[in-house]
A and B are shown apart, each in its own frame.
Chain A
């Protein structure tokens, strides 16, 4: 299975909004709404920020939102803050009953 496609890096200024895309195929994102997004700071375990395309776990800021159109999912971070600087990964359940991650996006806060 091929990894989902994410941009290597995205940057934005404090307070701005950024969007990270995650492109898959009809065998994963295009078929299921089991798309998740993870935030990972250096040396730490990943933390789920969004699941089932747009659901936020308890405790996650409402500045994080998710959406999906066709084979592409997106994560939007509004009101960018310094603590949002991290790597972000998307994942999706697949028609082969497996899970696939994206290659990761480094978010830089300018």
Chain B
């Protein structure tokens, strides 16, 4: 059974960089059948897609966050990570990592079938 677990600081100061890691167990991140993604949810609000990455490092980002986001992958550790620069209170949210189904024939990714439990990150001084 695949398991994803987010880790990182729960409190980040304004203007600093938010850094989170997703550790994947029960399966390999580099088999090329999936993309791996980050999704966030501000308290009481809806889901927002942040970005997806392939094991090769090919990444796609939400245009509204692209200037501040970097997603990277470390296949040796079976992990992928999120960095969000210059955070403000508006970045306070539960951050989820998830596995995305990948249609390799067409080059499209589809639904998220496995999710981490989520980690609340608060931006405050």
Please report A residues at the B interface, Cβ cutoff 8 Å. Answer: 1, 3, 32, 34, 36, 38, 40, 45-48, 51-52, 57, 89, 91, 93, 96-104
The residues of A that contact B101 with a CB separation of less than 8 Å are: 51
A98 to B42, CA, bound (A): 20
A33 to B103, CA, bound (A): 12
Please report B residues at the A interface, Cβ cutoff 8 Å. Answer: 37, 39, 46-49, 52, 60-64, 96, 101, 103, 108-113, 115-118
The residues of B that contact A104 with a CB separation of less than 8 Å are: 46-47
In the assembled complex, the CB of A106 is this many whole angstroms from the nearest CB of chain B, namely 11
A-B contact pairs, 17 of them (CB 8 A): A1-B63, A3-B46, A32-B108, A34-B103, A36-B112, A38-B112, A40-B47, A46-B47, A46-B112, A51-B101, A51-B111, A91-B47, A93-B110, A97-B60, A98-B62, A99-B49, A101-B39
The residues of B that contact A47 with a CB separation of less than 8 Å are: 115
Asked if A48 contacts B112 (CB within 8 A), the reply is yes
The residues of A that contact B115 with a CB separation of less than 8 Å are: 45-47
Asked if B111 contacts A91 (CB within 8 A), the reply is yes
Closest to B47 in A: A101
Asked if B111 contacts A48 (CB within 8 A), the reply is yes
A-B contact count (CB 8 A): 64
Asked if B49 contacts A100 (CB within 8 A), the reply is yes
Among candidates A51, A89, A101, residue contacting B110 with C-beta atoms closer than 8 Å: A51
The residues of B that contact A100 with a CB separation of less than 8 Å are: 49
Closest to A93 in B: B108
A3 to B117, CA, bound (A): 24
In the assembled complex, the CB of B70 is this many whole angstroms from the nearest CB of chain A, namely 16
Leading 9 A-B pairs by shortest Cβ distance: A51-B111, A36-B111, A45-B115, A104-B46, A99-B49, A101-B47, A48-B111, A34-B110, A103-B46
Asked if B46 contacts A89 (CB within 8 A), the reply is yes
The residues of A that contact B103 with a CB separation of less than 8 Å are: 34
Asked if A102 contacts B46 (CB within 8 A), the reply is yes
The residues of B that contact A101 with a CB separation of less than 8 Å are: 39, 46-49
A104 to B47, CA, bound (A): 8
The residues of B that contact A52 with a CB separation of less than 8 Å are: 110-111
A98 to B43, CA, bound (A): 23
Closest to B66 in A: A98
